[in-house]
Amino acid sequence: MDTKSQLKTRYTFLDYIYWNLFAAIPFITAFIAIFKSSIIWAAGYILIFLALFLIVEYRFFCSHCPHYCQDGYTTKCLFIWGVPKFFKARPFPLTILDKFLVILGFLIIILFPIYWLFSQPLLLIIYLLSWTVFGLTLKRYECNRCIYFHCPANSVPKDLRDQYRKI
């Protein structure tokens, strides 16, 4: 089997739909928990999520990704589709600042709703399980064939990376 067929060099719109529906489970669970207490905080959660994901993560993580650096004016990856490339492509490894901001952004996204979820144990269980299954599934089915070799979660074997770089 050739290297290109083993690695995911392009995503389809169906990939985007699938992974975003999967990621919607913990997000909607958190939103419901927050909304039951406060519509304002629920709206704030959406705004915080969008700001962190579409500004911080997009700038400090996505702009390094080969899928972002591909031709075209919009991003076409498994989590972002059709969003204009506002930031300059940076096809080099993540800096320490990039890694710090990306991790901080994800921690805020994941931990922000915990306060509201603790008052609703069933939603908390669904939330924690859905994040766990999402993360494990992503790691198992995407990270081992992703061309974003600088991503800390990338698990493509070194020999396959080397073969891909020669193509």
Half-sphere exposure (CA, 13 Å, Cβ side) for 15?
A: 14
Q: Which two tokens stand for residue 156?
A: 């493509």
DSSP 56: I
Q: Indicate whether this model's pTM tops 0.85.
A: yes
What is the structure's pLDDT at 167?
72
Positions of the chain with pLDDT under 70 = 1-5
Q: Are 30 and 118 in contact (CB under 8 A)?
A: no
What is the structure's pLDDT at 5?
65
What whole-number distance in Å separates Cα of residue 15 and Cα of residue 106?
Answer: 21
Q: Which two tokens stand for residue 23?
A: 């990621």
Q: What is the pLDDT of residues 55-81, one digit of tens each?
A: 999 999 999 999 999 989 999 999 999
Beta bridge partners of 46: none
What whole-number distance in Å separates Cα of residue 62 and Cα of residue 56?
Answer: 9
First to last CA, the chain: 14
Chain center to CA of 159 = 26
Report phi then psi at 74, rounded to 5: -125, 160
What is the structure's pLDDT at 165?
85
Q: Give Cα separations from 100 to 96, 109, 140, 152 (angstroms).
A: 6, 14, 24, 12
Q: Where are the domains of the chain?
A: 3-166
Q: Are 83 and 101 in contact (CB under 8 A)?
A: no
